[in-house]
A and B are shown apart, each in its own frame.
Chain A
Amino acid sequence: MKPARFDYYLPSTLEEALAKLSELGSEGKVLAGGQSLVPMLNMRIAQPAALIDINGLVELDAVACENGALRVGATVRQSTLERSDAALGQVPLLAQALPLIGHWQTRNRGTLCGSLAHADPSAELPLLLAVLDGSVEVHSSRGARTIAARDLFVSFFTTSLEADELIVAAYVPVAPARRCYAFDEVAQRHGDFALVSVACAAEFDEQGALAYLTLALGGASEVPLVVETADALGRHADRELIAALAERASVACDPPSDHHASAAFRRQLVRTLTGRMLTALLRREEAAAT
C-alpha cells in the first residue's frame, strides 16, 4: 500500500497553484484534506503524475458570510465548521450532516470543498449543497466562474470542473427564518458511507400548508438527486401526501446494487427515510404551532 511515484508541488499563492494546474492538466491532482485522494494513491488505483497541495494557500482557509450565504474556503476543514457555532447557526443542516461524515479524525483533515470535488454520490456534503441549492466558486488561470450544485455533479465521482480548475470556495445559503431542515441516512456503522441518505428543507405557512420543499437523495443515483416536489406546495403534508412523496422518491432514483444493499433495498430505504423524515418535520411543525 505505497503510492506510485509522483511529483509534489506546494504553491504558496493561488496564482501559482492555478498556473501549475493549467500546466499539468489532467496529469495533476489537487490535494486538499487527502482523506479520499491519499487512500486511492496508496492503493494505486489513482496514479496521478503530480499533486498540487493547496494547504499552503492560507487565503483559502476562511469562513465568511457573504450575500446570504456561508462562503467556505477550499482548505476549511469539516471539523472547523462542526465546531463553529456561527456556521452551524447560519446553516443548521450542517449540524445534522457533518457528524455523519466519517470520524473525527477524517473530519479534522477533510475539507468541504474536497468532498464536493470528489463527488461521491453517497457523500453527505454534495447532498447538502444540492438540497440547499448552493454553488461553488471556481478559478483557473483562464478566469473564474460560479457553478450551481445542480450543474456541478455530473456522474459518479465526476464533476463539471475542467482539469485546470480549482474550487476556491463553496457557497452554502444561509437558512431563511421559517425554514426547517432534516438530514438522515442508513449506514451500516457510525461513520460509514450511507447506503442511502435523504435531506430536506421545508417551510410551512401560517395555515400549516407546505410553502417550500426541497427533497434530495444521496447514494441513490449517480449524483445527489433532487426530487420533483413543486406540486406539493400549498398542500397540507398529510399522510397521503407524505406517502406519495416517499413513493415518488423511491421511484425517481436509480440506485446501485452491491453486496451491502440491492437496488430494491436502497429504494425501500429511500421510501422509508423520506416518509419518516417528512412525518417528523410535520410533527415538529405541529408541535411548534401549538
Chain B
Amino acid sequence: MIESPARTRPRRWIGEAVPRKEDPALLTGAGRFIDDLDPFPNTHHAAILRSPHAHARILSIDSTRALVLEGVKAVLTGARVAEISQPFHAGITEPVHFYPIAVEKVRYVGEPVAVVVAKDRYIAEDALELIDVEYERLEPVVEIDRALADDSLPLHENVGSNVVHERSFTYGEVDAAFAAAEEIVEATFRFPKYASTPIETYGVIAQYQRGTDTYAIHANFQGPFVLHTLLASALRVPGNRLRILVPPDIGGSFGIKALLYPYMGLIALASKESGVPVKWIEDRLEHLCASSSLTDRLTNVQAAVLRDGTILALRLDHVDNVGAYVRAPEPACLYRMHGTSTGAYRIPALAIHNRLVTTNKLPTGLNRGYGGQEHYFALERTMAIVAKRLHLDRLDVVRRNLVRADEFPYHAPAGSVLDSGDYHTALDEALRLAGYQELLATRDRARARGRSAGIGLACVVEPSGSSMGYITIALPLEQRKRSLPKSGAAEAVTIALDPSGAITVRLGTAPQGQGHQTVTAQIVAEELGVALESIEVVAEVDTQTSPWTIASGTYSSRFAPIAAVAVQQAARKVAMKLRTIAAQECNVPVDDIDLAEGLAIPRGDRSKAIPIKRLAGLAHWNPLALPSGMEPGVYETAYYSVPILEAPDDQDRVNSSAVYGFVVDICLLDVDRETGKIEIQRYVSVHDTGRMLNPLLAEGQIRGGFAHGLGGALMEEMVYDENGALLSGTFVDYLCPTAAEIPPLVIGHVDTPSPFTPLGAKGIGEGNSMSVPVTIANAVADALGVDDITLPLTPRRVWELTQR
C-alpha cells in the first residue's frame, strides 16, 4: 500500500528506553506495600508458632496459658483448621493432603502449628511462648536418596510412600539411537535447594464477614489467579464470596509469592476464628524456614552420541524433591521444561523418567527460572562432559547440535515449538563480546603461572508465557481425558477514558517491580497517540472489580509475550472506538483517521483534527451523537491468549510456553585452590528477547537474573542437617550475593521477534537464573579438571574439590 504523505504517525514508544514510571514513588518512600495498608478497623495481629521438628506427631497442644494473656483474642490450631476448611488441591493423583497448618503431624521445621491472634504482634509473640506442644519425634527423611528407599517412613501415611508421583515418556526412536551410538556418556547431577529472597516478605490482611460469609483478603500475591479457585474451595465458599486484593506495590517476589500462597488461607481462617480482621507480616526468620523454594533435584543423564559430537538421543531420569507437601502448581517443577527438555539442540529422540519425592523440608513452588536451573544444570554439564570425553572442542559440539536458524519454528520432540531464533549467531556474538581467543590465552597464561583458571559456557532456551495446560501432562492420558482439556495462557486488560479524556489502564498482572506500568504506558501511548505521562496504570488487583483470568499474574516471564499483547489489543479497541467517532464527526472513512499528538487527525486535513479529550467527552456526555449502535463511554477490556498453546496431545507432547528466548553465557574465572575462593574475571551474556519493549527494563531483568543465578552458583542453599534441622535460618547463614559480590556483566543481544504473537516480544526475566549456575559450574569444572561439581560452589566445596 502506498501511504499518503499527509498521514500522521504517532510517536514511537515501544522499544524506547523510557525510565520507569514507578520509580519516583518508590525512591521517595511513597510506595504502597501491604504493610502500609490499613483497610479494616480493629485489625488484630497474628504470630505463628512453628514446628521445631522436621518430622513429629503432635500429641497435644495446650493453649490455656496463651489464651489468658491480656490482649490475646484467639489461638487457631490444625485440628480446627481441618474442621472448617478443605485441603488445597494439587495436580497429582496421590492423596497428599495439604492444609496451611500442620494437622496431626509436623513435616518440616517451621511448619505452622498454631496461630495466635492478639492486639499487637508483640503480645502475639509473647503468647507463642505460652503454648505447650507435646511432640513425638519420628524418623526424618531428609535427602532424596532416603526418600527413594523403600523403608523410609512415609511423610503421608495415606500415600504409603515418599515417591508421590512417577511417569515415563518416550519421544522418537530412543532405543535405536542408543544402539546406533558410538559412545554413551552418562552422568549424575545433584542440584541444591535454594530460593529467591524478596526484600518484602509475605503479608496478609484478611477479614471474614460473618453476616455474609465472605472473605476479603489483601495479600502481596503475584498470581496466577487460579489460586482464587483453589482458595475458595479450601475455604468452602463460592468464588463470589472470596475477594482477593493485591496492593499497588509488591516488594519483589521471584515466584515466592505465587501459587500456592498458603498464608492467605491461614490468616483468613484466623479472622474467621477470632471474629476480627487479622494482619500478618511474615518476618525474615519465618521467610527463610517456611515460605517456598525451588526443588532440589537428582538427575541421571545418558546421552547417545557419535564421535563427531552429534547427540542422537537423551535419557533423562529426574527425581525432584518437593519437600513436605505437594503444593500447586507442583509437580510443575518437573514439567515446565518438559517440552523443552532437549534445550537448544536438535536431538531427535528423548526418554524421560520423572519421579517426585516428599521429604522433611520446606515445600517448594515457583521460583525465578522455575525448573530451568535444575534442568540446564544437567543438560549443559552433560554437553561439557560429552566434549571432554570425546576430546572435542566444546564449541564444535555445541555448534553441531544447535538448532539452525533455518529450522525455526522448530518442533522439539517433547512438544515445544521454538518460535524463532538464531542460536549460532548469538553464540558468535557472545564469543565476540567475550574476546574468546583472548579469553583462552588469558586462561592458559594463568595456568602457566600455576593458577586454576577455567572457561564455562552454557546455551539455554528460555521459555516464557507458560501454558495453563502443561501441568496436566503429569496425569496419564486416560486421566487427562476425564477432565476438561486445559490450554492457552490468557491475560486481561481494561482501558477507560473518563469524560475529560484522562486514560486509566487497569492490569491484572500484580507486578512486583518489573515495570509493567511503564511498558503499558508506552504501548498505550503509541497506540492512542497520546503523551506518555498522561496515562495512569493501576496495578492493584481486586478480583471483584479488576479484569482477570485464571492465568493472570506475573510469573513465567509472561508480561512481554502475553500481557503486553492484551494491553495492545485493549488499546486498539479504544483506538477503533475513538477513530470511529472522529470519522463520523469529520465525515471521512475510519481508515482515514490517525491518532497522534493527542488528536484524531483526518488524513490530509490537520485543520479538522479533534482532540481525543473531546471524543471521550462526547462518548460520555452526548451518547445520542455516537455512531449508531455504539455503546456510550470509553471502557474497553481485552482478553488475550496465545493461540499456539494447545492442550497436551495424545502422544504426551506439549508446547509448554508461548515463546522461547535464548541465552548464551560465557565466563572466565579463577579459582584460588587454597582458599576456595572464585573470582569471576569476565562474564558475557547474550540474549534473544524477541522484540525489545524497553531496553532499560530488559537490562534490569538480565542483571536481576544474573544476581539470582550467581547466588545459586556460589552461595545460596537451604541447608538441613541429617535430622532435618534447618541450619540456614538467617541471612548470616543463608547467603545472597550483594552488590559487592556481583562482577561486571557484559550484555549482548541477537533478537529475533516471535512470529506467534502480535508484539513479538519474549520474556527475559529468568534466562540468567537458568544459565548462570551451570555456566559457573562448567568453568570451575574446567579450572579444576573435575566433573563432579555440586552447587553452590562455596569456598568449602571448592577447597574440597581441590583435595580429591
Contact = CB atoms under 8 A, between A and B. Distances in A.
Q: Do chains A and B touch in the complex (CB under 8 A)?
A: yes
A262 B126 contact: no
Contact of A186 (B125, B677, B735): B677
Q: Which has the most chain A C-beta neighbours within 10 Å: B122, B676, B727, B732?
A: B676
B796 A262 contact: yes
Q: Is the interface of B mostly helix, strand, loop or mixed?
A: loop
A115 B290 CA distance: 32
B719 interface: yes
Interface in A233-290: 258-262, 265, 268-269, 272-273
A4 B130 CA distance: 12
A190 B741 contact: yes
A197 to B, nearest CB: 12
A223 to B, nearest CB: 20
B740 A189 contact: yes
Contact of A259 (B122, B677, B727): B727
Interface residues of B, number: 29
Interface residues of A, number: 25
A189 B676 contact: no
Interface string A1-12: 111110000000
Contacts of A190: 738, 740-741
Interface string B782-795: 00000000000011
B738 A1 contact: no
B727 A2 contact: no
Nearest to A3: B122
B733 interface: yes
B737 interface: yes
A273 B675 CA distance: 8
Contact of A192 (B675, B727, B728, B735): B735
B741 A1 contact: no
Contacts of B129: 4, 44
Contacts of A269: 674-675
Contact of A4 (B126, B719, B730, B738): B126
A265 B125 contact: no
A191 interface: yes
Given A2-B122, A4-B126, A259-B727, A189 B796 contact: no
Contacts of B800: 265
B676 A260 contact: no
A195 interface: yes
Given A5-B126, A43-B285, A189 B738 contact: yes
A3 B126 CA distance: 9
Given A259-B727, A259-B733, A269-B675, A1 B283 contact: yes
B65 to A, nearest CB: 15
Contacts of B735: 188-189, 192
Contacts, number: 61
20 contacts: A2-B121, A2-B125, A3-B122, A4-B129, A5-B126, A43-B730, A44-B129, A188-B715, A189-B715, A189-B740, A190-B740, A191-B738, A193-B732, A195-B795, A260-B796, A262-B796, A265-B796, A268-B799, A269-B674, A273-B675
B284 interface: yes
A241 B499 CA distance: 87
Majority secondary structure, A binding face: loop
Contacts of B125: 2, 4, 44
A95 B730 CA distance: 29
Interface string B705-729: 0000000000100010000000110
Interface of A: 1-5, 43-44, 186, 188-193, 195, 258-262, 265, 268-269, 272-273
Nearest to B736: A189
A2 B674 CA distance: 42
A265 B795 CA distance: 9
Contacts of A191: 738, 740
B675 A260 contact: no
Nearest to B281: A1
B715 A261 contact: no
A28 to B, nearest CB: 20
Contacts of B715: 188-189
Contacts of B738: 189-191
B795 A268 contact: no
B727 A189 contact: no
Contacts of A189: 715, 735, 737-738, 740-741
A186 B122 contact: no
A218 to B, nearest CB: 15
Nearest to B729: A43
A186 B795 contact: yes
B733 to A, nearest CB: 7
Given A259-B733, A272-B675, A188 B727 contact: no
Contacts of B121: 2
Given A3-B122, A188-B795, A190-B738, 6 more contacts: A1-B284, A186-B675, A186-B795, A189-B740, A269-B674, A273-B675
Closest 3 CB pairs of A and B: A190-B740, A1-B283, A272-B674
B26 to A, nearest CB: 20
A72 to B, nearest CB: 26
Contacts of A44: 125, 129
Nearest to B677: A186
A44 B129 CA distance: 10
Contacts of B674: 268-269, 272
Contacts of A268: 674, 799
A85 B800 CA distance: 42
Contacts of A43: 285, 730
A272 to B, nearest CB: 4
A4 to B, nearest CB: 7
B397 to A, nearest CB: 34
Nearest to A195: B795
Contacts of B677: 186
